[in-house]
Chain A
């Protein structure tokens, strides 16, 4: 078994008096789908923000591929191969879907601004390469129809898919999905499940997922971490965690809660 891809060690952060994340530790192995579940306010998205360094931890650190990354700027985290989606879609509204995906290739660029200004042959070549990669993502997610549409006019379900596509366009090693199925209907959620399977199996990307839909979680996850009020409740396979009494009480609801 290889080394863990990501390690969170004793992560803690607080906002004012509120301990949002308290001494959370876990490991993510390559090519697995790892889910974070828990009630609202449990600190799941906060952990994502700690991994992408949008928040600085008060204690603890994050290790990616053996290197501590807690001191890096968010854009450097992206360069390492960590991509993420956002809970409340953060797309580039006044750009087309294609342009959104092309931004995903940004980490692969080699030209500086003045080369772009002159549009040197090298820039030209790289642009075509980027376009090819973006088209692969479009094909993977069936976004052909929306390729040249402005994001601002698209329906919610499509935007969620574009958000996913943009993260995939980065060809990351690790993908953080924040509530991929929220706001989606049953059919779209099922499709999302298939895509997550394909991402893991065909693209070989490791996925960490924050999710509320337990059906989706059981279907795709290899392991699940349950959080409550910033602390770890349980860790194991989906079935193990769902059977854990603490998790049932805090989140899932037991038989006697009528």
Chain B
């Protein structure tokens, strides 16, 4: 484990803990900025998907990983953002404004969806968010005057400040920039009183209240911000695919978002990114693996759900800390070799704590 030698409180507040971290992240940024010149277009396209899913994963992580709420209908916010962006673009709005509006519309939807959270918890909340997800999907289908219903909606090419974003490379930079801003925002949030309030609500609502945290207010903020992030992701998603239809935002999509952050690792920003990366790369892997697997297995439509099912079950059973957790363990092992002990990251199991009585 790295020891951070600190002499001022400032140092704990900073985004990067020390110069070592700054170096590695700086290197990462340089590599990412150069990627469009180094990698073929198909890979860039996949990276764009990773950025987009990272943004929505970030939002979901904020709500589920940090605030301890649950949302089984998050695809609805993705839909709100996507359709808002598409609609406003067709009306000629500039990208920055339409993106902001997508965030606001989704955020307001998040406030509404978060209303049950003020009264109920746990599984009741899960079912409520599930219900909202279905209702929004249906509403989007029925409002075919605006959304084109089941026939779908197409988008024109994207223009930002007069520059046409018509290539994969250009869109790569746009989405990377958006992702970076979102990550910075969430990092700021988590090192400030609001972020601490979220974590407090997750760990003990009763003592959070006793310390002056207005549960209703912070839960609403969590839902709103989480939805707004999904809305931003949805807007980017709309431009990436250039075509929207309600079935892209189904219940299965909501579940897949949850799977993504669980596999990535709950409770960290890295988890959201790792989860998104895993999601896209796993799908790619299956597609390429189909070619050199025996036809009996490879040609099956059932291959993808089976593989995802296996991964999810395996992660939940064997690596509940997710990919990021596994990465931390590996890194710690290498850092303090040979002093690594097996139980270093063991989480306490609680047998008595009943979720019903939280």
B204 within 8 A of A: yes
With an 8 Å Cβ cutoff, the count of chain A residues facing the other chain is 44
In the assembled complex, which residues on chain A have CB atoms less than 8 Å from the CB atom of B12?
131
B residues 215-239 in Cβ contact with A at 8 Å: 215, 221, 225
B267 within 8 A of A: yes
Quick one: closest B residue to A127, CB to CB?
B13
The interface bits of chain A over 72-96 (1 if a CB of B lies within 8 angstroms of the residue's CB, else 0) are 0111011100011010001111110
Known: A75-B209, A90-B207. A127 touches B192 (CB 8 A): yes
Known: A106-B196, A118-B188. A131 touches B207 (CB 8 A): no
Known: A91-B207, A153-B348. A75 touches B9 (CB 8 A): no
A124 within 8 A of B: yes
Q: How near does chain A come to B321, taking the closest CB pair, in angstroms?
A: 11
Quick one: closest A residue to B352, CB to CB?
A88
B194 interface neighbour in A54, A95, A113, A135, Cβ under 8 Å = A113
In the assembled complex, which residues on chain A have CB atoms less than 8 Å from the CB atom of B191?
119, 127
In the assembled complex, which residues on chain B have CB atoms less than 8 Å from the CB atom of A86?
206-207, 210
Question: Once the chains bind, are A117 and B212 in contact (CB under 8 Å)?
Answer: no
- Alpha-carbon separation in the docked complex, A116 to B187 (Å): 10
B213 within 8 A of A: yes
A223 within 8 A of B: no
Per DSSP, are chain B's interface residues mostly helix, strand or loop, or mixed? helix
B200 within 8 A of A: yes
A128 interface neighbour in B13, B208, B209, B211, Cβ under 8 Å = B13
In the assembled complex, which residues on chain A have CB atoms less than 8 Å from the CB atom of B203?
91-95
Quick one: closest A residue to B10, CB to CB?
A128
Question: Once the chains bind, are A106 and B195 in contact (CB under 8 Å)?
Answer: no
Across the A-B interface, give the 10 residue pairs with the lowest CB-CB distance, nearest first.
A78-B212, A116-B192, A92-B203, A119-B188, A90-B207, A107-B212, A74-B209, A116-B194, A131-B9, A109-B193
Chain A residues in the interface with B (C-beta under 8 A)? 52, 54, 73-75, 77-79, 83-84, 86, 90-95, 99, 102-107, 109, 111, 113, 116-119, 123-124, 126-128, 130-132, 135, 152-153, 166, 170
What 8 new A-B contacts, CB under 8 Å, besides A86-B206, A91-B207, A131-B9?
A75-B210, A77-B210, A90-B206, A92-B199, A93-B348, A94-B267, A99-B199, A106-B200
Provide a sorted-by-A list of 14 A–B residue pairs whose CB atoms are within 8 angstroms: A75-B214, A78-B212, A79-B212, A83-B210, A86-B207, A95-B196, A99-B199, A106-B213, A113-B221, A116-B195, A117-B185, A117-B188, A127-B193, A128-B10
